[in-house]
């Protein structure tokens, strides 16, 4: 009987150590360089403009918002917006951050999305040429980002890009709602 227990123990140990048994560790995901990803996104948008946006133009940047709650921006949305601001500035644009209403576009009487008058007035008051807007969503393994540059005069999207970054520890911390301590 002792030989059977010893054989079973050796066999079980061999299976577990050999990787054939259940996993007791979590797959770790490493963060991408968020600064590099943001700068690459701006580079891509600037190379795919559908109409000219001359260097020196004033571009207003709104904080990226959580797609599940458009009234919410977390550190992830704010830092990506700041990085986009820096990348556009280094590309020769004048940039300005502006806290615009989170629902930037509203439907008019015939159901067409357009900038509300109050937002247009604020943008025209600073002589802005374009507006950068964006959303992000957290998945299980990635944060998904969608960015657009909108021409203020026509309200047309002149370029856009979508990308994802791995949900490493930094991205996870910045893109998730902290648990409240009650």
Q: Which helix (H) or strand (E) holds 95?
A: strand 94-97
pTM of the full structure: 0.75
Q: Each residue of 63-109: pLDDT tens digit? A: 888 888 777 778 888 899 999 999 999 999 999 987 665 567 666 77
- Burial state string for 132-152 with b = 16 or more CB within 10 A and e = fewer than 16: bbbbbebeeebbebebbbbbb
Which among 30, 27, 73, 28 is positioned nearest to 165, based on CA atoms? 30
The proportion of the chain whose per-residue pLDDT surpasses 70, expressed as a percent, equals 75
Residue 59 pLDDT > 80, yes or no?
yes
CA-based nearest residue to 33, from 173, 174, 176, 170: 170
- CA 100 to CA 63: how far, in whole Å? 9
What pLDDT, in 10s, does the model give residues 135-173?
899 988 999 999 999 999 888 999 999 999 998 887 777
Spatial CB neighbours of 118, under 8 Å, sequence gap ≥ 6: 101
- Segments making up each domain of the chain, as ranges: 28-175
The answer to whether 129 touches 151, Cβ cutoff 8 Å, is yes
**Percentages helix, strand, coil for the chain, rounded to the nearest 5?**
35, 25, 40
Q: pLDDT grade, residue 17 (50/70/90)?
A: low
Looking at domain 28-175, its CATH class is alpha beta
Cβ atoms within 10 Å, residue 165: 22
Whole-number pLDDT of residue 101: 57
């Amino acid at each position: 009987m002792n030989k059977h227990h010893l054989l079973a123990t050796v066999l079980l140990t061999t299976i577990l150590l050999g990787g054939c048994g259940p996993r007791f560790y979590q797959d770790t995901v490493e963060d991408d360089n968020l600064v590099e990803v943001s700068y690459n996104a701006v580079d891509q948008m600037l190379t795919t403009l559908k109409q000219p946006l001359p260097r020196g133009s004033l571009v207003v940047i709104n904080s990226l918002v959580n797609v599940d709650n458009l009234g919410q921006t977390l550190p992830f949305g704010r830092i990506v917006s700041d990085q986009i601001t820096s990348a556009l500035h280094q590309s020769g644009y004048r940039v300005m951050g502006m806290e615009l209403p989170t629902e930037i576009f509203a439907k008019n009487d015939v159901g067409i999305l357009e900038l509300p008058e109050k937002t247009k007035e604020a943008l025209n008051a600073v002589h802005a040429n374009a507006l950068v807007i964006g959303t992000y969503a957290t998945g299980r393994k990635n944060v998904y980002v969608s960015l657009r540059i909108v021409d203020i005069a026509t309200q047309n999207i002149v370029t856009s890009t979508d990308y994802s970054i791995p949900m490493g520890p930094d991205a996870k911390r910045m893109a998730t709602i902290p648990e409240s301590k009650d």
